[in-house]
C-alpha cells in the first residue's frame, strides 16, 4: 500500500480544520441565532456548550480519524461492527442536506459582492434589498455558480485548494472583522447593543431554556463542523506526534472568536438602525452589513471585499462537507472521484433550489440537518467511542501528549456520561422544536402556498 498522505506541517492541519469550521456558521448563522434566541442568554449557553460538549466531541472525532486513517464510513467499518457501521449513513445524509442549502446562502454572499461593486448598498432599503437577493432566479443562478466551484475544487483534489484558501482567508477574516467591529463600536446605540449581546439574564434563560439550549447546541455542532465526520477525515492525516487536545483547543478558540466578533459587528449596527435583531432571521447579517456599508466611505468596495472573504470562507467549509460525501461514494461504491463529485453536486444543487426560491426551505433543511442529524451523529459516535472502543480511545488520545497521566481517563468518562446524557436531552429537545416548526410555521406556509 502506498504511504498515506499526511499534513506537511502542524499549521497545515490546523488551518484546514479551521477552514472547515469557519464559514457561514460563524458569520451568518451565529448572529441570527443570537437574535432569535434573545441575545446574551443564548451567547452564554452557547459558550458553555462549546467548552463542555463541542471540545470533547472534537476529540471523539479526532481519535477515530487518527486511529483508523480512514474516511468516516471506512473508519467505522474498521473499528466498529454491526449497526455501528451505519452511523456513516447519518453523516452522509447530513452532509448532503447541509451543502444543498449552504450553497444557496453562499450564493447570497456572492450577490452582496456584486451589489457592493455596483455601489448599491442602501441603509433604508436594506431589508427590501435582501428580499430581492435571497429568493428568485438570481439566487438560483448564484447557488449554481457556488456549487460549480465546490465541484471543481473537490473533483481536482482538495489539498492545494484548502491550503491556499485558508492561508489567506483566516487572517483576512480576522483583520476585516476586527476592523468592522471597531467601526461598529463608534456607532450611537452601541452601548445598548452590547448590553443586549453581553449581559445574560438568568430569568430569560430560566424561561426559555427549552428553546435556547437545543438551538445553542445545534449551532455549536454546526460551527465546529461536528457530527458528520469532517474532523474524522482531517485527523486521519494526522501524525501520532501531534497533541490533539491542544489542536482542538486552538480550533475551537479561533472559531469562537470569529463568531463572537460577528456579533460585535452585527448588533451595534442593527441597534443604530433601529432594527429589532430578533425579527430578522436569516436576513440579519445581510441587512445589517448592507446598511453599515452604505454609510461608510468607500463602503461599496469595503463591503465587496468583506462578502468576498465570507464567500471564500464558505467555500473552504463547503469543500469539507462535499469531501465526506464524495469519499463515501468512492470507497463504498467504487465510483471514481470526478463523476461522483459531479453527480453529487448536481443532486445537491437540485435539492437546494427550493431554498433559493423561498426562505422557508432554508429553515426546513437547516433544522433537519443541523438540529437533528448532526446532533444524532455526534451522540452515536460518542456512545461508540466512549462505550464500545474505550481502550483504543484512551490509547489514541494519549499519543503526542507528554505526561498525559489520568487526563485520558477523565476525558473518556466525561464523554461517557455527561456528554452522552446531554446529547440525548439535546437531540430530544431539538426534535420537539423541529416538530413544532413542521406543524406550525411550515404547515402554515404549505396551506397558503399550495
Interacting residues toward ligand TRP by CB under 6 A: 20-21, 23-26, 98, 222-223, 225, 227-228, 230, 317, 320-321, 374
Terminal C-alpha separation, the chain: 56
Min CB(310)–ligand TRP separation in Å: 10
Half-sphere exposure of 122 (CA within 13 A, CB side): 9
Instruction: Return the axis-axis angle of helices 40-49 and 190-198, rounded to nearest 10°.
Output: 40
Residue number, 90 or 272, with CB nearest to ligand TRP = 90
Min CB(187)–ligand TRP separation in Å: 26
Residue number, 291 or 356, with CB nearest to ligand TRP = 356
Contact yes or no for 353/139 (Cβ under 8 A): no
Q: Which residues are CB-neighbours of 225 under 8 A, at least 6 positions away?
A: 17, 20, 21, 231, 317, 320, 321
Residue number, 21 or 412, with CB nearest to ligand TRP = 21
The residue number whose beta carbon is nearest to ligand TRP equals 25
Rama region for 5: left / alpha / beta (φ>0; ψ in -120 to 50; rest): beta
CA atoms of 312 and 224, how far apart (whole Å): 17
Min CB(228)–ligand TRP separation in Å: 4
Q: Which residues are CB-neighbours of 170 under 8 A, at least 6 positions away?
A: 15, 18, 19, 22, 254
Min CB(314)–ligand TRP separation in Å: 7
Q: Which strand (E) or helix (H) includes residue 177?
A: helix 159-185
Residue number, 194 or 368, with CB nearest to ligand TRP = 368
Residue number, 102 or 267, with CB nearest to ligand TRP = 102
Min CB(65)–ligand TRP separation in Å: 13
Residue number, 268 or 378, with CB nearest to ligand TRP = 378
Min CB(118)–ligand TRP separation in Å: 27
For residue 81, the tally of other CB atoms under 10 A from its CB is 10
Closest CA to 16 of 164, 174, 137: 164
Contact yes or no for 324/92 (Cβ under 8 A): yes
Min CB(369)–ligand TRP separation in Å: 8
Residue number, 222 or 349, with CB nearest to ligand TRP = 222
Amino acid at each position: 500500500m502506498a504511504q498515506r498522505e499526511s499534513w506537511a506541517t502542524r499549521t497545515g492541519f490546523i488551518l484546514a480544520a479551521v477552514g472547515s469550521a469557519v464559514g457561514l456558521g460563524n458569520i451568518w448563522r451565529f448572529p441570527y441565532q443570537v437574535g432569535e434566541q434573545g441575545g446574551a442568554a443564548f451567547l452564554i449557553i452557547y459558550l458553555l456548550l462549546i467548552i463542555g460538549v463541542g471540545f470533547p466531541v472534537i476529540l471523539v472525532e479526532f481519535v477515530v480519524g487518527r486511529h483508523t486513517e480512514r474516511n468516516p464510513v471506512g473508519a467505522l467499518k474498521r473499528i466498529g461492527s454491526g449497526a455501528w457501521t451505519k452511523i456513516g449513513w447519518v453523516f452522509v445524509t447530513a452532509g448532503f442536506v447541509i451543502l444543498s442549502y449552504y450553497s444557496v446562502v453562499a450564493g447570497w454572499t456572492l450577490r452582496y459582492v456584486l451589489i457592493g461593486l455596483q455601489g448599491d448598498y442602501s441603509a433604508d432599503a436594506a431589508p427590501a434589498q435582501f428580499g430581492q437577493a435571497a429568493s428568485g432566479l438570481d439566487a438560483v443562478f448564484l447557488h449554481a455558480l457556488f456549487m460549480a466551484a465546490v465541484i471543481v475544487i473537490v473533483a481536482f483534489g482538495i489539498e492545494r485548494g484548502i491550503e491556499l484558501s485558508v492561508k489567506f482567508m483566516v487572517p483576512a477574516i480576522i483583520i476585516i472583522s476586527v476592523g468592522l467591529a471597531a467601526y461598529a463600536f463608534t456607532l450611537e446605540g452601541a452601548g445598548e447593543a452590547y448590553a443586549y449581546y453581553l449581559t445574560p439574564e438568568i430569568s430569560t434563560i430560566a424561561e426559555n431554556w427549552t428553546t435556547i439550549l437545543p438551538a445553542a447546541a445545534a449551532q455549536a455542532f454546526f460551527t465546529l463542523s461536528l457530527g458528520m465526520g469532517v474532523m474524522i477525515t482531517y485527523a486521519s492525516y494526522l501524525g501520532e506526534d501531534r497533541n490533539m487536545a491542544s489542536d482542538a483547543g486552538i480550533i475551537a478558540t479561533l472559531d469562537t472568536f470569529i463568531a463572537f466578533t460577528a456579533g460585535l459587528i452585527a448588533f451595534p449596527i442593527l441597534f443604530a438602525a433601529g432594527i429589532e435583531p430578533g425579527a430578522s432571521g436569516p436576513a440579519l447579517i445581510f441587512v445589517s452589513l448592507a446598511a453599515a456599508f452604505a454609510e461608510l466611505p468607500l463602503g461599496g468596495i469595503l463591503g465587496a471585499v468583506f462578502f468576498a472573504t465570507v464567500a471564500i470562507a464558505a467555500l473552504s467549509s463547503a469543500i469539507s462537507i462535499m469531501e465526506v460525501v464524495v469519499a463515501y461514494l468512492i470507497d463504498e461504491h467504487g465510483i471514481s472521484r470526478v463523476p461522483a463529485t459531479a453527480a453529487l453536486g448536481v443532486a445537491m444543487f437540485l435539492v437546494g433550489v427550493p431554498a433559493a426560491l423561498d426562505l422557508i426551505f432554508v429553515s426546513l433543511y437547516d433544522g433537519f440537518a443541523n438540529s437533528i442529524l448532526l446532533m444524532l451523529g455526534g451522540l452515536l459516535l460518542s456512545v461508540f467511542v466512549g462505550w464500545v472502543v474505550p481502550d483504543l480511545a484512551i490509547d489514541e488520545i494519549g499519543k503526542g501528549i507528554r505526561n498525559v497521566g489520568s487526563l485520558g481517563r477523565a476525558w473518556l468518562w466525561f464523554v461517557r456520561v455527561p456528554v452522552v446524557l446531554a446529547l440525548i436531552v439535546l437531540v430530544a429537545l431539538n426534535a420537539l422544536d423541529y416538530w413544532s416548526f413542521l406543524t406550525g410555521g411550515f404547515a402554515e406556509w404549505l396551506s397558503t402556498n399550495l
